[in-house]
Amino acid sequence: MEGCFILCDLANDTTVVYNAQRAEQPFLPASTFKILNSLIALETGAVQNADESIEWDGEQRFVQEWNRDHTMRSAMQYSVVWFYQELARRIGEGQMHKWVDAVGYGNTQTGKNIDDFWLVGDLRITPRQQVEFLKKLVLEKLPFSRHTIGQVKDILIEDKTDRYIFRAKSGWATQGQHIGWYIGYIEIDGKAYIFVNNIDINSDADPKARKEIAKEIFKTAFDIDLDI
């Protein structure tokens, strides 16, 4: 399996990279863009908060959990595409590009298709750029209010114990060569470690590897058994 893994110790400003060449390659962000989409939606008032419900449009989709009303919190958990497409339409083309550009997210190319540019459009981001984006999220150096950033950090939590808090988002780009993402960060005893996993998806078994690789690395590095 071809892939790239980056682990960044934010406190010590040290980074370990597996496959440095791939770390510089641009890819569609796919559903990892939901992190920025959420920030922009909250900041612009597309929704008032992470628990505001948007009504399902009634269209049956292939993931059963998508076929109901959702909040940003539940839509992040189940990676509900239609919900985030609706958020993007509410934000609008002009505002979306303004904020993507202000953040400096990847190549910043939002294009003309407001509700799928992160899935099939021209937007691209490298694994290293994902790390830089996450650094700004952790350190709250993005151009959003602390309240907005706090809400998004909250809905990204996938696992939490007395020792650590683990936040993450997966993604699966299906245009051309299928690409899997798993990105996020873990806070252990008050220290933050950012990770980005990027792999080729060539078989039905490969999507699971996005999380499995991360679990193995965190087990080896920190003796943590993630429940993800």
Tens-place pLDDT, residues 163-193: 999 999 999 999 999 999 999 999 999 899 9
Q: Could you tell me the pTM of the whole model?
A: 0.97
Q: Report whether 87 contacts 71 (CB < 8 A).
A: no
Q: Does residue 227 carry a pLDDT above 90?
A: yes
Domains and CATH numbers, the chain: 3-222 (3.40.710.10)
Read off the DSSP letter of residue 2: -
What tens digit of pLDDT does each residue of 55-109 get?
Answer: 999 999 999 999 999 999 999 999 999 999 999 999 999 999 999 999 999 999 9
pLDDT over 70 for what percent of the chain?
Answer: 100
Distance in angstroms (rounded) separating the CA atoms of residues 2 and 46: 38
Residue with tokens 């020792």: 163
What tens digit of pLDDT does each residue of 190-216 get?
Answer: 899 999 999 999 999 999 999 999 999
pLDDT, mean over the chain: 97
Distance in angstroms (rounded) separating the CA atoms of residues 72 and 51: 6
For residue 222, what pLDDT is reported? 94
Distance in angstroms (rounded) separating the CA atoms of residues 123 and 19: 22
Q: Does residue 226 carry a pLDDT above 90?
A: yes
Distance in angstroms (rounded) separating the CA atoms of residues 59 and 176: 26
For residue 47, what pLDDT is reported? 98
Query: Which residues have a catalytic role annotated?
Result: 31
Q: Does residue 150 carry a pLDDT above 90?
A: yes
Distance in angstroms (rounded) separating the CA atoms of residues 119 and 171: 10
Residues 6+ apart with CB under 8 A from 204: none
For residue 1, what pLDDT is reported? 84
Q: Does residue 23 carry a pLDDT above 90?
A: yes
Spatial CA neighbour of 158 closest among 93, 76, 52, 50: 76
